[in-house]
Amino acid sequence: MSHDVATTLRSRSAVTILEQLTAAMGSERGTAAADRLCTAYVELFDVDGAALSLIVGGTNTGTLGARGTQARLCDELQFTYGEGPCLETVARRAPVMVVDLADPAELRWPAYRPAILAHDIRSVYAMPVVVGGQYTAALDLFRFRPGVMSADDLAGAFAAADLAELPVLDLMGDYLQAGVDDPESDAWSELSTLSRAEVSQATGMLIAQLGVGPAEALVRLRAHAFATGRTATEVARDIIDHRLRLEAN
């Protein structure tokens, strides 16, 4: 997209912004629509990356869409460290905006902040996504430089967060219906492993190897990822492929 076209689109009304983002998603559904929405936002507005996260039980359980591998990695690190803008925006039910992660006065996310600074991300913004009245997802936006969002960029972020409900609903539809048909269904638990299947599989292996419960097994996996400066998914792959074996305490 040319600079002139992007400038023209940013100068239009919020209604037009919504129309442009909707058109960019086209007829795609689910993760494909989420990827297109993130890509459209990056192309239309002044950010360098975008990701759409599923948040269940206060945990980033899956990256449903992203523009670029770096945005996907920054989202994955929120799962690894258990903190970050997507979790905070859902917990607070309000936008989260960090103008400069390198500011010495910025003390939030003591593990996540240095991890994404190492990937040259200087500012982050997050918008909660509401689905059926519940705060169940988040739109994360990343920049390589510090700065405050312009009014146009902010309007676009709100529009994108509203539209993000559609791909999230696509992915949740079958699970929600299962819960309606069977009140005792484990639909939400199954949904929480949708995009972290490798972590779920590795956690199961650790339960058997270490003789611990699911919660402790996941904590051990994430702790190893933190200690070695890797993502939880990378560690999970090594466990699954028998390249890594965690020892019992």
Residue spans per domain, the chain: 3-176, 196-240
Which tokens is 42 given?
């990056």
Nearest to 234 by CA among 198, 210, 200, 194: 198
pLDDT of residue 190: 46
Which tokens is 187 given?
């639909």
Which tokens is 135 given?
């705060």
Correct CATH for 196-240 of 3.40.50, 1.10.357, 1.10.3470, 1.10.10: 1.10.10
pLDDT of residue 10: 47
pLDDT of residue 13: 64
234 in Cβ contact with 196 (< 8 Å):
no
Give pLDDT < 50 ranges for the chain. Answer: 1-11, 185, 187, 189-190, 193
C-alpha separations of 24 from 18, 21, 124 in Å: 10, 5, 23
Judged by DSSP in three states, 49 sits in: strand
What pLDDT, in 10s, does the model give residues 17-71? 888 898 988 888 888 899 999 999 999 999 999 999 988 878 887 888 999 888 9
Q: Is 151 exposed, middle or buried (0-12, 13-18, 19+ CB in 10 A)?
A: exposed
Fold (topology level) of 3-176 = Beta-Lactamase (3.30.450)
Q: Note the pTM of the prediction, 2 decimals.
A: 0.74
pLDDT of residue 191: 52
C-alpha separations of 49 from 3, 119, 170, 173, 216 in Å: 17, 12, 23, 27, 33
